[in-house]
Structure 1
């Protein structure tokens, strides 16, 4: 199983150091969350991942997750393709619709509709592959554009544990991101995904699980990791305490060495 970690989201000076430490520790991926306004200070996810790209050569760079509906799709596509180009095609595009936890102030400030975020996310996912790869596509207001230079389209992982998110993953995704779910819920979600993907004639998306640092000793955490793997998860992304990320990364690396 692949293991990744979230980067600090509020410490500009720590991003490069954290990304390098993750790579040198043998971890597989680094991730950044995305909000305009959150419950505390938060940095822009594309810029965080660009800083991580400049400090590393191997780890994949994951959006966990990008709120597509918060932006005009052409702007998002330009950010994604540029990050692909500067990183050497290491981007994993996690996408989601957000939730009410942080309120709708960020959405209103961006001129975006929180209520319509699901529909706008679907519309963006339909045209994003063409825009990222430099082909023409029709965007908002019926405008046909092409963005150059294009890049390879990164894998799309759709985040969320509800039925709508799994439907979106089956329709548009190469993978599904489950957040803080138990192994049993991951297995049940994957069963739903298999049926939804089969109905659409698409491959079954793989599962990535986002979780806090697992409880207890490394041995006990390894058992929890094995349970996620048995449930069908292909990658576990851990979210250590930002204040003590180094210790969290070291625990994640020790778990990675056992699998």
Structure 2
């Protein structure tokens, strides 16, 4: 699986600790590269360049990791050109070193942060500032206690869980690693079989995230914008209005009796 800028967060924090907590970017990069050396050997593409950017890919992702860490107050960027780890960043490292589990795992998905943003031309700081301005809720949905439409992957999961049973799904697990969901799914013959699914806000995000085709039976999304998707897609945005109409019809029948 391809590396994302999230994979550079812990190495960047470790690099700053090795550099006594604070350093300029030019001094940080070599240490990050050394810490990431084993993984970079398996990902030679990290030494290439995005079409829209001049900087080498792994350095670009390190800059995005730095900006995201600033957003989470694990790095202090108050001094221009100097990267400094905070107490919060040190605490994350302490937990990681003790448990071998990243306490921030899954946090980006909850916040609606897509790793693909690192492939844009814009500067990381500008992109994160724009994200802060984006509305934190979608249009009105008003369906089974959910007031607004989803705006990220976590919202898609929430909507799906409210309708999974009537769609023939039995949820066994929803997790942060690929594939997101493990279900038992009822087919047209009335029998059940295993089903592995990946949740995405838009179906095209599956491609952006560079997920493999094998190992996933279904993409569950809010908007289906990848018509050539080689995997079955379940679009919730078009399905919810139908379910709402069915509920109104049933309510009308009950009141009419």
Smaller-chain TM-score bracket: under 0.3
Q: Which has the higher contact order (CA 8 A, sep 6+)?
A: 1
Q: TM (normalized to structure 2)? A: 0.26
When Rg is computed on C-alpha atoms for both structures, the one with the higher figure is 2
Q: TM (normalized to structure 1)? A: 0.26
